[in-house]
Amino acid sequence: MSRFAVPGFQRISALVAILAAAALWGISNPPSKSLLAVHGPCTLAELRLLIALAVLLPFLAIRRKRRISAASPPCWARPE
């Protein structure tokens, strides 16, 4: 089996995540233009960063709760 082979479910979920990111990126242009008419570009950039922080912070908290044993080697260093 290839080192970079991805099981079916993980591959499908990765493709769905990519399509969702592309869709969100594509539909963000009209709201950005209307918000720029009301607020300045720096305020809009700060708002986008705060939204990204609010979305990504729970994932970071979950990841920090999982403890990886220091004795186990990283996944790329394990023999196949």
Q: In the prediction, which pLDDT does 69 show? A: 47
Q: In the prediction, which pLDDT does 29 show? A: 87
Extract the residue ranges of the chain whose pLDDT is less than 50.
1, 69-70
Q: In the prediction, which pLDDT does 78 show? A: 59
Q: Are 6 and 14 in contact (CB under 8 A)?
A: yes
Instruction: Read off the tokens for 16.
Output: 């769905």
Q: In the prediction, which pLDDT does 18 show? A: 94
Give φ, ψ of 72 to 5 degrees. Answer: -85, 135
**What is the number of residues in the chain?**
80
Domain boundaries, the chain: 8-65
Q: CA 54, CA 68: separation in Å to the nearest integer? A: 25
